[in-house]
Structure 1
């Protein structure tokens, strides 16, 4: 059906260099406040910007198509601008990112004001000489402890800080949460150094089971590729530094808590560097390969859509990513089934069985509580 309306976009739409390529540079156009960007090549860029300029509410949809159909895929451009929320008089819903689509949001709160106050600290912490010294220290540490580290990581005693199992679990969770928060803080402080400020902090259950913490940093794709990589790599860099410090301290003080901190931070590094999950490694690899929206292409395959004009390496990457996604979901299902079956075999009564699967009820209770709180907050806002 032909649209009979006059598209009007936001006033502050701009363009930025996304990647430099021999075959032609790739640019992003969008709004840093809205934090949604469209990819265009350097040959499309002048026509795309001209078309956006004409989307001022005075030119009809049909007029825009007639004017630009020979120069650019104007229909797709308008559609992408609509789903991005950049067309202010469109009734289409803004497209959500992967975490928003496939996660249960546990916590989401603003943090922009905090990082604006930390601008001076960000300049100090990102001083090139300081980062150079830290890099040398990390490199030396991992070389020195390269043989011991695998032993620490696989030794069950590493997790036994105290005699109480409950206390050990609590300490492990506490160390994990603190390390994750420091990891995310490193992202934020590096982004602040480049004059873009994290807007919100979110904790979600990715695929409704896996806990993931992340910052929403508007304007990240307005930075140069090297700067974007610095922001995405900052968390792993800090985790490496913390691990290095604790490894040296453990040689002089055999406190098992130090080893637990090492294990947690190394685990964060290994997890985040994985390019087949929507974590730091994925964004770094996408930037190095000069490819965008690889995760969107993955879910397009899941929906049965066909991809066009992709090289063999991209197909291989998407295939491995799909395997990781399937394994991630299957491990959750297998863990749940094994828990229920083992509880059935080891429980003599219904009450004992319910007690053995209490973690499921705790998990469902947390989801229900968060859902109620979110609905109540939403009603109060209305």
Structure 2
């Protein structure tokens, strides 16, 4: 099936709406358990814009209440995604099907425990260790200098294994993202010019899609370059001050 630009924007709208419902699910659950200062906003995670719900007051909840508040977002998002899929079954509109798949992928991504998403906070709640990621990655980095047996004596095996997997996954994602960006010719500008030159009917949706893609890739390149600069600067300053 061929998707028009408006179809793609509809899928994107339904997916974004599901994310909003996800965050509202967190807020509603936290409010139910007694939180009164719950906010929802938009921020950045690496180079990705993300929605978030501030559940700081949930640290006063029991472990069970914190876990339920954490999983509530995925629950409400799954309910909404199921309704979208039912809409596809009734209307056979492939936009609904694509949106339901996108929502499912979003849910699975959120349950990834090795990024600071819902899956991570579930483990944090379960282990009652709010510094799990920091301790794990720090412990994993120390493996370059100390034997595994010595590191296990300093920290728990769960934290160490978590840190190693998190560090490997983070490295993989950064390398993969860097390769995809640098292998894209002109960050999408070439594709835009070619499409504009050959298209007789270029709508607003087309401009949004093409320039949105180019803007994201440009921001991604800036972010990766900045992170590389900070890393080199940190290493240089550390070496210079050690002499």
Query: In structure 1, what is the equivalent of residue 176 of structure 2?
Result: 331
- Which of 242, 257, 260 aligns to 2:98? It is 260
Query: In structure 1, what is the equivalent of residue 60 of structure 2?
Result: 222
1:292 Cα offset (Å): 3.1
The 3-state SS of whatever aligns with 2:43 is strand
Judge conservation of contact 2:85–2:96 (CA < 8 Å) in 1: yes
Judge conservation of contact 2:136–2:162 (CA < 8 Å) in 1: no
1:175 Cα offset (Å): 1.6
Matches within 5 A, 1:227-238: 227-238=65-76
The 3-state SS of whatever aligns with 1:212 is strand
Question: C-alpha offsets along residues 259-298 of structure 1, whole Å, 9 cap, x if unaligned?
Answer: 1231122112101111111001111122223433111114
Judge conservation of contact 1:186–1:238 (CA < 8 Å) in 2: yes
Query: In structure 1, what is the equivalent of residue 225 of structure 2?
Result: none
- Is residue 318 of structure 1 aligned with residue 163 of structure 2? yes
Judge conservation of contact 2:38–2:55 (CA < 8 Å) in 1: yes
Distance 1:193 1:255 in 2: 37
Question: C-alpha offsets along residues 117-146 of structure 1, whole Å, 9 cap, x if unaligned?
Answer: xxxxxxxxxxxxxxxxxxxxxxxxxxxxxx
Distance 1:287 1:348 in 2: 50
Query: In structure 2, what is the equivalent of residue 196 of structure 1?
Result: 35
1:225 Cα offset (Å): 0.4
Q: Tell me how many residue pairs correspond in the alignment.
A: 200
Query: In structure 2, what is the equivalent of residue 278 of structure 1?
Result: 116
The 3-state SS of whatever aligns with 1:262 is helix
1:360 Cα offset (Å): 7.0
Query: In structure 2, what is the equivalent of residue 269 of structure 1?
Result: 107
Compute the RMSD of aligned alpha carbons: 3.5
Taking a change above 3 Å as real, the CA distance of residues 291 and 335 of structure 1, as seen in their structure-2 partners, is same
Bigger proportion of residues as strand: 1
1:200 Cα offset (Å): 3.1
Judge conservation of contact 2:135–2:159 (CA < 8 Å) in 1: no
Query: In structure 2, what is the equivalent of residue 42 of structure 1?
Result: none
Taking a change above 3 Å as real, the CA distance of residues 344 and 215 of structure 1, as seen in their structure-2 partners, is closer
1:190 Cα offset (Å): 0.6
- Which of 131, 147, 169 aligns to 1:293? It is 131
Larger mean Cα displacement after TM superposition, 259-268 or 294-303? 294-303
The 3-state SS of whatever aligns with 2:56 is coil
Distance 1:262 1:361 in 2: 26
The 3-state SS of whatever aligns with 1:211 is strand
TM-score, with structure 2 as normaliser: 0.69
| Higher gyration radius (CA) | 1
1:228 Cα offset (Å): 0.3
- Is residue 206 of structure 1 aligned with residue 45 of structure 2? yes
1:184 Cα offset (Å): 0.2
In the alignment, structure 1 segments of 5+ residues that lack a partner are 1-156, 369-382
Query: In structure 2, what is the equivalent of residue 41 of structure 1?
Result: none
TM-score, with structure 1 as normaliser: 0.45
Question: C-alpha offsets along residues 200-229 of structure 1, whole Å, 9 cap, x if unaligned?
Answer: 33322311x122211112311100000001
